[in-house]
Chain A
Amino acid sequence: MLKIVNGAVYDPANNIDGEVRDVCIDDGKVVDSVEGGRTIDASGMIVMPGGVDMHAHIAGPKVNTARKMRPEDHRLDPVPRTSLTRSGVGKSVPSTFATGYRYAAMGYTTAFDAAVPPIAARHAHEEFSDIPVVDKGFFVLMGNNEYIMQQIAAGERGRMRDYVAWLLQATKGYAIKMVNPGGVEMWKSLGNTHTLDEEVVGFGVTPRGIIRSLAEAGMELHLPHPVHIHCNELGVAGNWETTLETMKTLDGVRGHLAHVQFHSYGGDPGGMFVSRVPELAEYVNTHPNLTVDVGQILFGDTTSMTGDGPLAHMLHQVTGRKWVNVDVENECGCGIVPIEYKDKSHMHTTQWAVGLEWYLMVNDPWRIALSTDHPNGASFVSYPQVIRLLMDREFRREAIKKVNPKAVAKTALPDLDREYSLFEIAIITRAAPARILGLKHKGHLGIGADADVTIYDKCDDAEKMFSVPRYVIKEGEVLVEDGSIRRETFGKTLYVAPVYDTAVEKDIREYFRKYYTIEFENYPVQLEHYLPRPREVATTGDS
């Protein structure tokens, strides 16, 4: 039992905006009242639900290959062991233990990996077992799945939907993820798709067809987070039109567009980027079926890792740096390249400004989540810096003075005076991502919510305040106190198990026999072995 008293509570889902009130916790949940137990006096402090990261790359084969690839990065940021915690490394691709501790130390208690190849789902779960503190889950790559494309082309919509449900069950994943739908398949023979209406060679479908079909399947299966989309043409000048077309394709269904910053560029392919955020943000503002996360970039060296193989190859060609490509049978692919964002660069400055424009031009904070697409834009540990850029106009103006002046002058950023309030920050860092993910028990402090709570010392410097919370409480236990970890626990794995007609398995089994290299019977992840603390999220809700 735990009682947090005298704190200014920011709980946007329950419309509480800085009101001083108590938060009572028992048995890992927020309750009405408690008798006895510890009391934390949060006088002068800010109380918020634990942060929710809805788009990061933290576990699985792609992340681990990036770890193997970057000893020079790890060397800069060793994480020593303590009597309570394991050692590791930090920087752009932290080891599993460091990942959990650093989320916790920043007041984040839930994080989702955004791109796991289904055949390697077991790997992501194994790493999850070594990521302490946070609750976690992952999205399952499906936008280039050959079985799905074949079913769409054959008009077998029901079978496709049953397969999607089977695949989510088999992987113990959380949502349908599309990465450059159709384009990654084309990359398997060095191609790519450039518009939504180009045919994916050999499969008789278009990216638009894949997006629409999977989005509808996500709705029909009542998934809490139906589809999570990394649009085609990431990082290419002129890609905003493809992004807009993707948004239009989602007419009437729910859809989340990931790291929109990377998808909002005008200009001619191969040329300079110009911002097209005004047009895209306006479309989002007027279409409540859509949500986005930003994928903010910050200046410095990081590691780009993506399910978008052709994109990584393009980055390799531009930067000349080391390059990993992995093509995964029947399902997807990935690419990894180190990258440094430079504040003198016209292109990187434009990207930086485009990200901030997104935050400042989407009117409804409930439909935009804070992300850096960790580690693609920057590490998740830099979220407090992003928060300060949003909350502090003067700080932002100073930052604008340090970047490429020509590039930033072409964007709307210098004219945007909006400042986020603490209430709005609480929305984009916890309440909104929880709601977008369909996690009813997270992102708020109402009765029955998970008792994941972060308490900050009030401070004018938002970056400082959000970097080192005073207390972090997970499932009702005080894990971080005065900036250091006091107990190591392991969070739960969130997954969905939508129902489907098992008749589809006969067809899938035959497909496995022909085209896979592992047995159908050995493919599904064993819940009891790989999810030490499983938590199924219902799919019968009102999504």
Chain B
Amino acid sequence: MQVDHVVCAFCGCVCDDISVTVEGDRITKAKNACVLGKSWFLSHGTPSDLPVARIEGKPVSLDRGIEEAARCLANARYPLIYGLSSTSCEAQRKAVALAEVLGGCIDCCTSVCHGPSGMALQGVGEPTCTLGEVKNRADLIIYWGSNPAESHPRHMARYAVTPKGMFVPDGRKGRTVVLIDVRRTPSARAADIFLQIKPGKDFEVLWALQALANGQKPDEISIENTGLTYEQLTGLADRMMHCKFGVIFVGQGLTQTRGKHFNTSAVFLLVRALNRHVKFALIPMRGHGNVTGIDNVLAWQTGYPFGVNFSLGYPRFNPGEYTVVDLLSRGEADAALVVAADPISSLPGKAARRLAEIPLVSLDTHDSETTRSARIAFTTSTAGIHAEGTVYRMDNIPIHLRKVMDSSYPSDEEVLDRLLAGVKELKAC
């Protein structure tokens, strides 16, 4: 059986043109998908022998698992809910409700990827556009600190570089592509210009470009040791100020290196300054398939996009205090629920160690370091393969996930809903 127009929820590109072939109880083909998407469909579309719920590694019924997990979370004084970037908005909405009832903290993968972009938005605003605007209009494409060839393999072909658009009828020929990074990545092959910056020097270059866009002439000394020559700098500024419609795709090379939200604020301010001359936009290269969704759900339910604390009965936001790495590194949380993420293998050592120390409940579609460390682990079905739902593309476009096959596992939404009911009962509210 072939299902068309299927949505790939693996990365922030959220390509929705996949044709999936289901043979028996497994997915055998994912036409149009990139190498990452194909792997996502094929691995999640394969029957699993994991138990639906485990306590201390021993299989138990779903009911028993829910009961124990609800008790574990309800008994905690400062529970943490984390992850949520690879599940549907429907599940995310339940997770926020649960965090509120628990009076705990909820944070998502944003705090370790594009949190600094969110903070730049709070500080200076954000000139942006949807990916279709890039396809239809952009003649200058800049990838800064991102490596789409490996992280978002269809980004260039589907949205930014090769497609023909309304005002870019020649497609690739009508665009100039610039890659700016600290090393020559495989994405450089697709770029017309590669500019290699020295590690930790993005801010200096961004600030000098902003000065040029504002009609000022920065000193040559200001970009000394950045890896760029003055000619390269002014050449880039010139290109930016004389294109028709430019866009900077902001990668984690800016958000998670020295400077963090200073880097993102600098790039946002640069794009703002460029709008004195030409139309210019920026789009953060969001990684996981629905990390943009959790920002949105948190924002509409609480007002804040990540790192939200409910200890006082209402939402509070303070990056550095309620964000996962900081909170765990200080040894603060005394129980955690991790949904659709593997923080034990991805967070810095101190934070990961704390997570492994405390009672941990996990929901995931497959086994990971985190599920193996969890006291109670639930195996769930995959949104976009076994369940419908909503995800937000990196440019905030909401897309409906199709279901292509059945699963014997419950969805994240279902398990979270039952946990919410269980916790409410225990807390008598």
| Partner-B contacts on A (CB < 8 A) | 59, 61, 63-65, 67-72, 74, 78-81, 83, 86-89, 93-97, 119-120, 122-123, 126-127, 130, 146, 188-190, 202, 313, 316, 322-330, 336-337, 514-519, 521-522, 525-526, 529
Q: Are A61 and B396 in contact (CB under 8 A)?
A: yes
Cα–Cα distance between A517 and B14 once the two chains are bound (Å): 10
Tell me if B313 and A521 are in contact (CB < 8 A): no
Q: Which residues of A contact B165 (CB under 8 A)?
A: 515
Question: A324 and B130: CB pair below 8 A?
Answer: no
A-B residue pairs, 4 tightest by C-beta: A329-B132, A322-B125, A89-B303, A78-B314
**Do the beta carbons of A122 and B128 come within 8 Å of each other?**
no
User: Could you say which residues of chain A place their CB within 8 Å of the CB of B193?
Assistant: none
Query: Known: A322-B123, A325-B128, A517-B158. Contact between A86 and B133, CB under 8 A?
Result: no
Q: Known pairs A87-B315, A324-B128, A328-B130. 17 more at Cβ < 8 A?
A: A63-B300, A67-B299, A74-B315, A86-B301, A96-B301, A120-B398, A122-B398, A122-B400, A188-B133, A189-B279, A324-B126, A326-B128, A327-B128, A327-B129, A327-B130, A327-B279, A328-B132
Please determine whether A323 and B396 come into contact, CB atoms closer than 8 angstroms: no
Q: Complex formed: what's the CA distance from A119 to B396 in Å?
A: 10
Instruction: Decide: A126 near B89, CB < 8 A? Known: A80-B313, A521-B5, A522-B7.
Output: yes
Pairwise interchain contact B314-A89, C-beta atoms closer than 8 A: yes
In the bound complex, CA of A93 to CA of B281 (Å): 24
CB distance from B87 to the nearest CB of A (A): 15
* Contact call A80/B396, Cβ cutoff below 8 A: no
B159 is an interface residue with CB less than 8 A from chain A: yes
CA distance A529 to B398 in the complex (A): 13
Q: Which residues of B contact A514 (CB under 8 A)?
A: 164, 166
**Is B426 among interface residues, defined by CB-CB distance under 8 A?**
no
Are B128 and A71 in touch, CB under 8 angstroms? no
Contact at B275–A328, with CB atoms within 8 Å?
no
Taking residues whose C-beta sits less than 8 angstroms from the other chain, chain B's interface range is 35 or more
Produce 1/0 per residue, B84-119, CB < 8 A to A: 000001000100010010000000000000000010
- Choice from A59, A79, A336, A525 contacting B125 with Cβ under 8 Å: A336
A318 to chain B, nearest CB (A): 14
Considering the chains assembled together, what is the distance between the CA atoms of A202 and B166 in angstroms?
10
Q: Does chain A have a CB within 8 A of B278? A: yes
> Are B429 and A83 in touch, CB under 8 angstroms?
yes
Q: Which residues of B contact A61 (CB under 8 A)?
A: 396
* Max chain A C-beta neighbours (<10 A), residue from B4, B124, B125: B125
Whole-angstrom CA separation of A323 from B127 in the bound complex: 7
- Among B304-312, B331-339, B410-418, the one that faces the other chain is B304-312
B287-323 residues at the A interface, CB under 8 angstroms: 295-296, 299-305, 310, 312-317
> Is B314's CB under 8 angstroms from A81's CB?
yes
Residue among B165, B296, B303, B310 facing the most chain A CB atoms (10 A cut-off): B303
Which residues of chain B in 1-26 are interfacial with respect to chain A, using CB atoms and an 8 Å cutoff?
A: 4-5, 7, 16-17
Which residue of the partner chain, among A68, A83, A93, A337, contacts B121 with CB atoms under 8 Å?
A68
Contacts of B166 in A (CB 8 A): 146, 330, 514-515
Indicate whether B260 reaches chain A with its CB closer than 8 angstroms. no
A130 partner residues in chain B, CB cutoff 8 A: 93, 300-301
Contact B388 A529 (CB under 8 A): yes
Q: Which of B247-283 contact A (CB under 8 A)?
A: 272, 275, 278-279, 281
Known: A61-B396, A123-B396. A519 touches B127 (CB 8 A): no
Q: Chain A residues near B315: list those with CB within 8 A.
A: 74, 78, 87-89, 95
Across-interface contacts of B365 in A (CB, < 8 A)? none
- Cβ of A62 to closest chain B Cβ, rounded Å: 10
Cβ contact of B295, chosen from A68, A322, A329, A519, cutoff 8 A: A68
CA distance A126 to B392 in the complex (A): 12
Is A329 a contact of B135 with CB atoms below 8 Å? Answer: yes
- Chain A contacts for B121, CB-based, 8 A: 65, 68-69, 324
Do B244 and A518 touch across chains, with their CB atoms under 8 A apart? no
The answer to whether A64 and B300 touch across the interface, beta carbons within 8 angstroms, is yes
A147 to B: closest C-beta gap in Å: 11
Inter-chain CA distance A205–B33, complex, in Å, is 40
Complexed CA–CA distance, A517 and B297 (Å) = 23
